[in-house]
Amino acid sequence: MIPEEREEQTRESPEPTPEQELEEAKQKADTYLDSWKRAQADFVNYKHRAEQEKLEMGKYASGQLILSLLPVLDDFERAFASLAPEVKPEWVAGVKLVESKLRSILESQGLSAIEALGKDFDPALHEAVMHGTGPEGVVVNELRRGYKLYDRVLRPSQVAVGSGEPQEPEKKPDTRRHKN
C-alpha cells in the first residue's frame, strides 16, 4: 500500500553556541509574534463574520421553514389544477382564499416566485429537467415553481427547455443518479 510522506529526521547537533542560541531565540520570538498576530487577526475576522452572520440570520432565518412549506403551495396548485366540475364553486372559492392567505403570509416574509415560462433558461434561477418543444434555450414548461427569498434563490424552478426542434425524444441520460 502507499505510505504517507514521512517527516524528516533531524540529527542531534552538538552543544549550541551563544550565537546559535540567540539566533534560535530570535527566530522563536519572530514565530511567536507572527502567530500572535495571526490569532489576533483571526479573532477580528471572526468577530466581523459573526456580526455579518447575525445580520443575515435575521433576514434569512425563516428560509428553512419557508422552504419546507413550499410543497404545500405546490400541492394547492395541483389541487386546483385537477378541480372536478361537481365541486361546489363556493367551497372552491373558500379554499382558494386559504391558499391566498398562505401565499400572502409567505410573501410578507420575503418570498417571491421566480419567473420562468417564456424566459431564457438561466441555471442561476432554473433547473432543466427535460427538453420540450419550442424555441431553443427558452423555458417552454414549468414543472415546479421556483421561489426567491428576498434576493436569494430559495428553490430553483424545475423547467423544460425548448430544443428548437419540432419533436424531441425524451430519452436523455439521467445525470441526476450520478452512478458514474
Partner 1 sequence: MGRAVGIDLGTTFSEVAVVQGGEPVVIPAAEGGNIVPSYVAISKNGERLVGQLARRQAIVNPENTVYSIKRFMGRKWGEPAGRELPVEEDARRKTYKVTRGPNNEVRVLMGGKEYSPPEISAMILQKLKTDAEAYLGEKVTDAVITVPAYFNDAQRQATKDAGTIAGLNVLRIINEPTAAALAYGLDKKTEETIAVYDLGGGTFDISVLEIGGGTFQVKSTAGDTHLGGDDFDQRIIDWLSDEFKRDQGIDLRQDRMALQRLKEAAEKAKIELSSVQQSDINLPFITADASGPKHLNITLTRSKLEQLVMDLVEKTLGPCKQAVTDAGITTAQIDEVVLVGGQTRMPLVLAKVKQFFGKEPNKGVNPDEVVSVGAAIQAGVLRGEVKEVLLLDVTPLTLGIETMGAVMTPLITRNTTIPTSKSQIFSTATDSQPSVEIHVLQGERPMAGDNRTLGRFMLDGILPAPRGLPQIEVTFDIDANGILSVKAHDKGTGKEQKITITASSGLNKDEVEKMRREAEMHAAEDNKRKEEVEAKNIADNMAYQAEKTLRDYKDKIPDALNKEIEGKVAAVREALKGSDVAAIQRATQDLNQAMQKVGQSVYQQGQQPPPGQQPPPGGQQPPPGGKKDDDGTVEGEFHEV
Nearer to partner 1, 14 or 99 (CB): 99
Please state the closest distance from residue 118 (CB atom) to partner 1, in A.
16
Q: Is 88 in the site for partner 1 (CB under 8 A)?
A: no
The residues, ordered by sequence, that sit 6+ positions from 132 with a Cβ below 8 Å of its Cβ are 140, 141, 160, 161, 162, 163, 168
Q: Is 73 in the site for partner 1 (CB under 8 A)?
A: no
Binding mask 94-133 for partner 1 (x = CB under 8 A): ---------------------------x-xx-xxxxxx--
What span, in angstroms and rounded, lies between the C-alpha atoms of 119 and 90? 35
What span, in angstroms and rounded, lies between the C-alpha atoms of 147 and 107? 10
Nearer to partner 1, 45 or 104 (CB): 45
Q: Is 39 in the site for partner 1 (CB under 8 A)?
A: yes
Q: Is 179 in the site for partner 1 (CB under 8 A)?
A: yes
Residue keyed to cell 452572520: 53
Q: Is 85 in the site for partner 1 (CB under 8 A)?
A: no
DSSP string, 19-70: HHHHHHHHHHHHHHHHHHHHHHHHHHHHHHHHHHHHHHHHHHTTHHHHHHHH
Q: Quickly list H helices, 84-146.
A: 89-108
Interacting residues with partner 1 (CB under 8 A): 1-7, 31, 35, 38-39, 42-43, 45-46, 48-49, 75, 78-79, 81-82, 84, 121, 123-124, 126-131, 136-137, 143-144, 152-153, 156, 158, 161, 163, 170, 172-173, 175, 177-180
